[in-house]
């Protein structure tokens, strides 16, 4: 059984997630990580630009493929950005009734609850209870680029959750929305020491990393 199966918006998100998972374990577990969503042909890997999208993440999580993934994957990682959470079908407000912006931790909880609700509605409460401990949520506030800011900033910018793509381009140099580029700019997260030092700087990255650490995964 493969250790991690990744459900994400696109191929660039997979590149970042894989580097983070390698950093958490401190081992090269690339062979223990498989892509569940989007479905990418191995012959085109690296040449595809962003593919999949937030809507397809939701659709995958109510599909038979999602249900069956637990038969071949130990932990299913669900990644989604929150920047478009107020769009139709996502339907999660980013502000309180007063207009105050939700804290990242609160927004992450709301998105997690949304996934748990749609999974329950599709497959039943018993299914969720059976597999809940094997689902890891990588909910990036506001976009996964925010998770990379601690690699490039030492001031308060490292904890920002807005305009992160622009901020990342300012420091990380020229890169495009391609898997190879995102692998390159996030590669330092493969170093356990670097990841452990930096992950607390970003609130939603912190939630994800600590959710993985809580599983106390022992590699064979």
Q: What is the pLDDT at residue 220?
A: 78
b or e along 105-144 (b: 16 or more beta carbons within 10 Å of the residue's beta carbon)?
A: eebbebbbebbbeebeeebeeeebeebeeebbbbbbbbbb
Q: Which residues contact 84 (CB under 8 A, 6 or more apart)?
A: 54, 90
**Cα 216 to Cα 220: distance, rounded to the nearest angstrom:** 13
For 37-78, the pLDDT digits (tens) are 987 554 344 433 443 499 999 999 999 999 999 999 999 999
Domain residue limits, the chain = 2-213
Backbone Cα Rg of the chain: 17
Token look-up 């920047």 returns: 83
Phi, psi of 5 (to 5 degrees): -120, 130
Average pLDDT for residues 89-100, to the nearest whole number? Answer: 94
For 150-159, the pLDDT digits (tens) are 999 999 999 9
**Cα 156 to Cα 203: distance, rounded to the nearest angstrom:** 13
The residue among 63, 7, 66, 68 whose CA lies nearest residue 34 is: 7
**Cα 187 to Cα 16: distance, rounded to the nearest angstrom:** 8
pLDDT-wise least confident of 30-34, 42-46, 209-213: 42-46
For 108-140, the pLDDT digits (tens) are 999 999 999 999 999 999 999 999 999 999 999
Is the CB of residue 43 less than 8 Å from the CB of residue 91? no
Q: What is the pLDDT at residue 40?
A: 59
Helix axis angle for 203-213 and 11-25, nearest 10°, is 50
Alpha-carbon dihedral sign for residues 178, 187, 1, 120:
negative
On the question of pLDDT at 211 being above 90, the answer is yes
pTM of the model: 0.94
For 166-209, the pLDDT digits (tens) are 999 999 989 999 999 999 999 999 999 999 999 999 999 999 99
**Cα 81 to Cα 62: distance, rounded to the nearest angstrom:** 18
Tokens of 60: 């995958």
């Amino acid at each position: 059984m493969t250790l991690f199966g990744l459900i994400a918006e696109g191929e660039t998100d997979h590149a970042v997630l894989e580097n983070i998972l390698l950093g958490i374990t401190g081992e090269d577990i690339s062979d223990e990580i498989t892509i569940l969503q989007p479905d990418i042909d191995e012959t085109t890997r690296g040449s595809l630009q962003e593919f999949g999208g937030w809507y397809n993440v939701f659709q995958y999580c109510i599909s038979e493929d999602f249900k069956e993934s637990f038969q071949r994957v130990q932990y299913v990682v669900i990644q989604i950005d929150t920047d478009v959470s107020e769009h139709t079908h996502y339907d999660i407000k980013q502000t309180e009734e007063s207009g105050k912006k939700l804290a990242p931790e609160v927004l992450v909880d709301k998105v997690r609850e949304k996934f748990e609700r749609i999974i329950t509605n599709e497959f039943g409460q018993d299914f969720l209870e059976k597999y809940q401990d094997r689902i890891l949520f990588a909910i990036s506030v506001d976009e996964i680029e925010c998770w990379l800011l601690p690699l490039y900033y030492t001031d308060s910018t490292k904890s920002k959750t807005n305009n992160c793509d622009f901020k990342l381009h300012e420091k990380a140099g020229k890169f495009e929305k391609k898997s190879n580029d995102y692998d390159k700019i996030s590669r330092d997260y493969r170093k356990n020491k670097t990841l452990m030092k930096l992950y607390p700087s970003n609130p939603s990255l912190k939630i994800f990393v600590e959710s993985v650490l809580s599983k106390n995964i022992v590699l064979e």
